[in-house]
Structures are given as C-alpha cells and as structure tokens.
Amino acid sequence: MKRILGGLMVVLCAVAHAEDQLHVTANQDYTLPSGTQELMLKQLILDDGATLRVPAGMERLQISAEKARIGKQVKIIASGANGKAGADGKNQGGQAATCAEGAQGGDGQPGAAGADGAAITLLLSIEQLGSLQVDTRGGAGGNGGNGGSGQQAGAFDVCSAPDGGAGGAAGNGGRGGNGGDVRIYYNLLPSSGLSGSISQRIEVDAAAGNGAAPGQPGKGGEGSDGKYINMRTLSGNKKWKAGGDEGKEGASGQPGAAGSKGAVDILKGGFVAGAVTQTRPVPPKPDQSLDDLRRAVQSQSEQLEQMSTKMNQTVEALDVRIKQLENQVKGLPDR
C-alpha cells in the first residue's frame, strides 16, 4: 500500500504547471536547472546583456511566453560541448632483450565526438525586442591520440639481427556534433511598437561542429646495430653482420567527419502559448491586423487558463484519491 501512495505522490509531483515569470537581469548569466525541457511563462524578461544557458547534455528546450521583453545583446546559449582528445599511445622505451625484437608502441585512442547543440523552440508574444543571439552550434570533435614509439631492438651475437618495434597506430579524430534546430514563432503585441519581420534583430548560429584531426602515427624503434662478429673466414677471424631493420611507422588515423547544420525557422504566426509544438504553426495572412493579433493573444491566454484549470482539477482528484487510500490503510488490521 505504501508503494501505491508513493507512486501517486510521484504522479502529483510530475504534473506540469505554468510558471509566472523568468527574469534574467542585465549582464547576468543564468543556467537553467538540469532537466528543464519546457517552460510555460506568463512573462519572459531578459534584460540588456543577459545570457540564458541550457545545461550540458540537454537535447531540447521549449519556452512559451504570453509576454516577452528582450533587451539588447541578449544571448541564449545551447551549444554542444567539444569532444575530449584521445589519449596518446604508450612509448616503448629502453632496449629489448638480447636477440629480441623491440616491442610495438601503444595505439593512440580516438577522439570523442562533439556533443550536439540543443534544439530550441521559442513561442513568444513580444512586447519588446532589442537584439537576440541564439547559439546551438555542435561541439568540435576531439583530436585523435598519437601513436607510441616502438622499442629499440635488442643486441645480437650469434642470432639473427632483430628489428625495431613498430610504432603505434594514430587515433582517429572525433566527429563534430550536429547543430541544434532553432524555431522561433512569434506574435507582436500592440505595445511593442514593432511591425513586420523581426529577423534582422535575431542572429542564429546553428553551425555544425568541426571534425577533428587524427593523431600522429608512432615512430618505429631502431633496429639492432650492425657489427663484426668472431667468425673464421678466408679473409680472417672477423665477419661483418648487418643490423636489424628499423620498426615500421604506425598506421595513420582518419579525420573526424563534420556534423550537420541545424535548421533555422523564424516565423510570425499564431500559436498556443505553453503548448508543445512538434509541427510548424499555421502562418498568418499577410494582411493580418493588430486586432487579429490581439484576439490571437487573448485566445492563447484563455487556452492557457483552461489548461491550468484542468491540471488543478487533476491534482484535486489525485488528492482525494490519496486520502481515500490513506483511510483504507488505517482500516487494515495490523499484522
């Protein structure tokens, strides 16, 4: 029974709700809490020079606001992190044992892929707009690690001259991350004093992350040195014996591929504030008047209020059910 009650409490905590306001003051840097994927706001206020950051690892963010006031040089940063460089392979130092070939150098590790930029969707009824930069670039891939050097061959006497150890292979470069898609759907409130397109006030960078360079292949180890050995020949008691070959250089790595550029869509049109939008809203007619926009905003406000009412009713119903279950638990005999 406790599990049932606990499960119902989890449901209650998971019910979506609309926040009143998100306000980032001038020149301040604010990072959203981890796991925040959707914000339904009465007001979004980003003062001059404010920066709103999306936490690392978050795939998407949608913000809907009944009234948005955006100052000058405001930034929304949702770019992917750069991939880490691969580790270098181990260098085989010293010299191998007598008559033994040198050990091979360790392989360099591949660089990690750059992270994808988060997808950003903004559904805004704009009261003020200075300038906005949205950054959803993919992260650059990490460079591949270098291959380690091969070991020097061991000395020799009566055995065949040993070769040096081969160099380790170079690590491949990491792939660049994908740029996040950016979709901005907006209405202009009459009090904004704005008209027409606002595209010139918004700068979006959804570039793909660059692929990274591979590492350097490891050098082969030195072969054993040639020398005279004691051996009776027609010309005397010494014979020259050639040394071993230098180890082969390690295999080359491959560069990482670049990511894909994110899609960008800035559209003036109707939408429901706070609604999850998976498809493009229907754009307005070119001759849409301020009265039409005012009615659209009013409709959005009413629909948001209806959503809030339904969610409150759901919470109340769950609260009643929890009390019923608590009474049932009290009525059960103790074991």
Question: For every one of its 335 residues, what pLDDT tens digit does the chain have, with 9 covering 90 and above?
Answer: 444 444 444 333 333 334 689 999 999 999 999 988 999 999 999 999 999 999 988 999 999 999 999 999 999 999 999 999 999 999 999 999 988 999 999 999 999 999 999 999 999 999 999 999 999 999 999 999 999 999 999 988 778 889 999 999 999 999 999 999 999 999 999 888 887 778 899 999 999 999 999 999 999 999 887 776 666 666 667 767 777 889 999 999 999 999 999 999 999 875 544 444 433 443 444 444 445 555 665 666 667 677 777 677 777 777 777 877 777 767 666 65
Q: Strands 264-268 and 119-129, how do they pair? A: unpaired
Q: pTM of the entire structure?
A: 0.68
Distance CA(224)–CA(217), nearest Å, equals 22
Torsion of Cα atoms, 266 then 268 then 269 then 275, to 10°: 50
Q: Which residues contact 317 (CB under 8 A, 6 or more apart)?
A: none
Beta partners for residue 120, in sequence order: 61, 182
Other Cβ atoms closer than 10 A to 240: 10
